[in-house]
Amino acid sequence: MVSNISNLVKKSIQKLKPYHIENTPCRIKLDAMENPYPLSKALMKKVLEGIKGIKINRYPDPLASRLKDIIASDIKAPIDNIIIGNGSDELIQLILTAFGEHGDRVLLSIPTFSMYGIIARSLSLMPEGVPLDKNWELPLNKFLSDMERIKPKVIFISYPNNPTGNSFDRESILKVLEKATGIVVIDEAYYNFSRKTFLPYLKEYKNLIILRTLSKIGMAGLRVGYLMADKEICQELNKVRLPYNSNALSQEIASIILENRTEIQKQIGAIISERDRLMEGFKEIKGIEPYPSETNFILFKIDRDSKEVFDRLSDNGILVRNFGNDDYLKNCLRVTIGTSEENDEFLDEIKKIIT
């Protein structure tokens, strides 16, 4: 009889901690980089009409063909160079499963999106991080030196970077691509807010993979991500992609929304405008240092215990993300851009707390 389940668990899993997601009740939710605007009634009507025809007793299209066609048309790429995933997290897992052997190294910056390291460790890979400089920039010489030292199978670059919000120097990333002997993943989750991309370099660098997601632009509940890469890479990744990984509802709804992208583009424009306005509001509050952002959030540092500020905001029904326990983000908080009314209330409340 088995008396201790932990003895059966892989050692690499035993050392992990579950990814923590706050489930705090709140009036204003500004913690998860979501689009704060709902779909219009007209677009929601199209969505409801579209899903009426879905036969949920049948498996979904295993290739997500319609959705891939729409994305391929938008990015001007062949569908054979695209894979749809159940969120970007699944695609990260596919990449590490396909290209990482037990004990292989994975290189990333610190701080960055934590799932790169979590998924790598779960697959018995060894992530190594290079701390960003004081301006949250990639320290190129150190990064290249570590590439030479550890020979990483996979390199992850978040562009713009989460949670700092900035885009690393383009020339630095190109030098990484030139020197890399493994796979280089550029995660463009916030592309719609930065409009910066390495998509034109896909033909030049066969080891380049670009990740994107629909979660940040209004479809977080659908869990749809996609990657773009050389056809040969996609063929290898499809060997480990689970069948029917993208469900029928997500495929249909995402397709309808992308076919009516004008509404989403207006929302993205509003978020960018509100981001700029929120940044100006921060600058008027003594004791807050906001960092430049090309995303749908702003990271900011305060001159006191961030947990205290986080708790007081929570007590007033406003949920943000606290990074106070992170060695590299001491007394930092991250706020997602909300509606103008939400941003006004957030600014008013944090002004009361700080001043």
Q: For 128-155, what is the mean pLDDT? A: 98
Q: Is the pLDDT of residue 18 over 90?
A: no
Query: Quick check: is 215 in a domain?
Result: yes
Using the predicted structure, report yes or no on whether residue 21 has a pLDDT greater than 80: no
- Do 190 and 238 belong to one domain? yes
In a domain, 45, yes or no: no
Confidence band (pLDDT; 50, 70, 90) for 1?
confident
The answer to whether residues 159 and 249 belong to one domain is yes
Question: What CATH number has the domain bearing residue 225?
Answer: 3.40.640.10
104 has a pLDDT exceeding 90: yes
> Residue 355's pLDDT band (boundaries 50, 70, 90)?
confident
The whole-number pLDDT of residue 302 equals 96
Residue 50 resides in a domain: no
Asked which of 238, 260, 282 is the last residue of a domain, the reply is: 260
Whether the predicted pLDDT of 22 surpasses 80: no
State the pLDDT at residue 4.
Answer: 87
Work out how many domains the chain is built from and give that number: 2
**Cβ(240)–Cβ(217) under 8 Å?**
no
What are the CA-CA distances from residue 175 to residues 29, 139, 141, 142 (Å)? Answer: 39, 12, 10, 12
Q: Give 24's contacts (C-beta < 8 A, 6+ positions apart).
A: 314, 319
Rounded-to-integer distance, Cα 172 and Cα 168, Å: 8
Please name which of 178, 188, 179 lies closest in space to residue 156, comparing C-alpha atoms.
188
Question: Does the residue 340 lie in any domain?
Answer: yes
| Strand, helix or coil for residue 159 | coil
Across residues 55-74, what is the average pLDDT?
97
Q: Is the pLDDT of residue 12 over 90?
A: no
Q: What is the 3-state secondary structure of 186-212?
A: EECCCHHHHCCCCHHHCCCCCCEEEEE
State the pLDDT at residue 336.
98
Q: What pLDDT sits at residue 325?
A: 87
Instruction: Please tell me whether residues 63 and 21 are part of one structural domain.
Output: no
As a whole number, the mean pLDDT across the chain is 96
One domain, residues 199 and 81: yes
Q: Based on the fold, state whether residues 279 and 344 are members of the same structural domain.
A: yes
Which of 260, 291, 314 is a domain's end point?
Answer: 260
pLDDT at 146: 98
Statement to judge: residues 297 and 338 lie in one domain: yes
| Whether 63 and 184 share a structural domain | yes
Answer yes or no: is pLDDT of 16 > 90.
Answer: no
Alpha carbon 90 to its chain centroid, in Å, reads 12
Percent over 90 (pLDDT), the chain? 92
Q: How far apart are CA 341 and CA 319, in angstroms?
A: 15
Residue 25 has pLDDT above 80, yes or no: yes
Residues 159 and 74 in one domain: yes
- Burial (CB count <10 Å: 0-12, 13-18, 19+), residue 128: middle
Same domain, 214 and 65: yes
Q: Is the pLDDT of residue 20 over 80?
A: no
Per-residue pLDDT reduced to its tens digit, 159-201: 999 999 999 999 999 999 999 999 999 999 999 999 999 999 9
Residue 196 placed within a domain: yes
Q: Are residues 153 and 186 in the same domain?
A: yes
Q: What is the mean pLDDT of residues 139-160?
A: 98
Sheet holding 297-302, edge to edge: 288-290, 297-302, 332-336, 321-322
Predicted pLDDT at 118: 95
Range 34-58 average pLDDT: 97
One domain for residues 172 and 32: no
Domain boundary among 260, 292, 321: 260
Average pLDDT of the residues in 32-48: 97
What pLDDT sits at residue 5? 87
Angle between helices 41-51 and 248-259 (to 10 degrees): 140
Mean pLDDT within 244-273: 97
Do 245 and 285 lie in one domain? The reply is no
Coil, strand or helix at 264:
helix
**Residue 49: inside a domain:** no
Helices 261-283 & 248-259, crossing angle to 10 degrees?
80
- Which domain covers residue 315, as residue numbers? 5-40+262-354
278 in a domain, yes or no? yes
DSSP-assigned states of every residue in 54-91 = --TTSPPPTT-HHHHHHHHHHHT--GGGEEEESHHHHH
Q: Is position 286 within any domain? A: yes
Per residue in 266-301, pLDDT (tens digit) is 999 999 999 999 999 999 999 999 999 999 999 999
Distance CA 25, CA 318 (A): 9
The CATH number covering residue 327 comes to: 3.90.1150.10
